Amino acid sequence: MTAVLGGCGVVDGIGGSEDVTLRLVAADYGDSAANSSVKYWDTLVDEYEAEHPDVKIDVTVYSWNDVDRKVKEMVDAGHAPDLAQIGAYADYAAKGLLYKAGDLLSIRTQADFVHQLAGAGEVKDVQYGLPFASSTRLLFYNKTLFNKAGLTPPKTWNDLAADAEALKARGVTYPYALPLGPEEAQAETMQWLLSGGGGYTDRVGTYDIDSTENADTLTWLRDELVGKGLTGPVAPGKLDRADAFAAFADGDVGMLNGHPTLMKIATAKGVKVGMVPMPGVDGASDVAMGVADWMMAFRENGHAEQAGDFLDFVYSEKNVLAFSREYDLLPVTNSASEIMSTAQQDADLRPFLKELPLSELYPVGKTSWADVSAHIKQQMGQAVAPGGDPKAVLKRLQGTASAAQGTS
């Protein structure tokens, strides 16, 4: 999906002044033409251009299936956009192609970013990635199925397994849906690893994928959920997140990890949704999984001043709130988060917002993360399959990550 909202290149204006056109490539967060991100950018750009007649903003919106590839093709061809709002920034930053956040934004805007998100936008302690959208994950459960089975939401792994056993006994198709298929296995995996006291990296940011904690977590999943038939008829390694979400919205899933979009989808289909923090070994997990998408500014065209001014406008409290509310996402700024935490219209997002300060994000500041993530998607389902070897899978992934560590 493409929308050109204004501008036709850099031209000399009347009286010798120079007009500037900024090219922005953005991802589409909508699920139909009615709520396409084209409309969000259209409104925002019209307002900005009315106040800045010497700057035009040319926006192209692509689906998430295409946007990262499109930007890469543009950069490789020597025609980088001025701004890109996509899924990853680290590779471009490592190649020296991006402006630093401090070269673009006002001090007020830069200081307003949520701390965890700003930190995730850094490469070697310098921020290049500007968080644009964020989310956290909670354990979703079907209230109707739980009430019929006389269950309470789980607080520990053993509670979760016991609830899943009870749901299976009542014929629930997916007592716990464990999507470790190629769509987003890295997210489900990370949620579980964090709840087991591990994760993809250690405290200093070095890959620690084959840690004892991670091996113990995957072994528990293999033996206590998958091995006992509590994850449904589709093998976790073949179950994608989208299919798991669809099954939950159809009332066929007792529990699964989800984000705010699932709440909206399931509620629209009449499912009574409950949400609690991810269970841990002995109680609720101390760390939630967070995710973020990124805005970045390329140096190629030299429009730092204009790009920075436009980004200050993009990250204004009003515009951050408008985007977050339109797409059921969490705001990336403290000012917007404070409003959402008390506004009645945002009550459904508060449980996710509460988890954000406790969240840990993917190691997106590493240029190696894209490759490591791809290997996790391919292999993690094998680790928890009956007869699978979690330690062997984690060792292979650690080898992949360590080989790339020196350049990331």
pLDDT in tens, 292-321: 999 999 999 999 999 999 999 999 999 999
Integer Cα distance of 181 and 246 in angstroms: 15
Q: Is the pLDDT of residue 17 over 70?
A: no
Integer Cα distance of 213 and 195 in angstroms: 10
Integer Cα distance of 208 and 193 in angstroms: 11
**Architecture of the domain made up of 138-277+366-405:** 3-Layer(aba) Sandwich (3.40)
Residues 393 and 219 sit within 8 Å (Cβ to Cβ): no
3-class DSSP assignment, residue 141: strand
pLDDT in tens, 354-399: 998 889 999 999 989 989 999 999 999 999 999 999 999 999 999 9
Radius of gyration of the chain (CA): 22
DSSP 299-368: STT--HHHHHHHHHHHTSHHHHHHHHHHHT-B-SBHHHHHHHTT-GGGGGGHHHHHHGGGEEE--TTSTT
Query: Which pLDDT score is estimated for 15?
Result: 33
Stated pTM of the model: 0.86
3-class DSSP assignment, residue 171: coil
Q: Is the pLDDT of residue 159 over 50?
A: yes
| pLDDT confidence tier of residue 11, bands split at 50, 70 and 90 | very low
Backbone angles phi, psi at 374, to 5 degrees: -60, -40
Query: Which pLDDT score is estimated for 111?
Result: 97
Structure tokens at 44: 């925002």
What's 82's DSSP letter? S
CA 318 to chain centre: 22
| pLDDT confidence tier of residue 14, bands split at 50, 70 and 90 | very low
Instruction: Spell out the residues 6+ positions from residue 276 whose beta carbon is closer than 8 angstroms to its own.
Output: 138, 139, 141, 153, 154, 155, 284
Residues 266 and 272 sit within 8 Å (Cβ to Cβ): no
Q: Which of 225-229, 231-235, 263-267 has the lowest mean pLDDT?
A: 263-267
Q: Is the pLDDT of residue 35 over 90?
A: no
Nearest C-alpha neighbor of 138 from the set 242, 288, 253, 266: 288
What angle, rounded to 10 degrees, do the helices at 304-314 and 37-51 form?
120
Q: Is the pLDDT of residue 135 over 60?
A: yes
Which helix (H) or strand (E) element contains residue 219?
helix 212-220
Fold of 11-135+291-361: D-Maltodextrin-Binding Protein; domain 2 (3.40.190)
pLDDT in tens, 176-226: 999 999 988 999 999 999 999 999 999 888 999 999 999 999 999 999 999
Span(s) in the chain for CATH 3.40.190.10: 11-135+291-361, 138-277+366-405
Residues 294 and 86 sit within 8 Å (Cβ to Cβ): yes
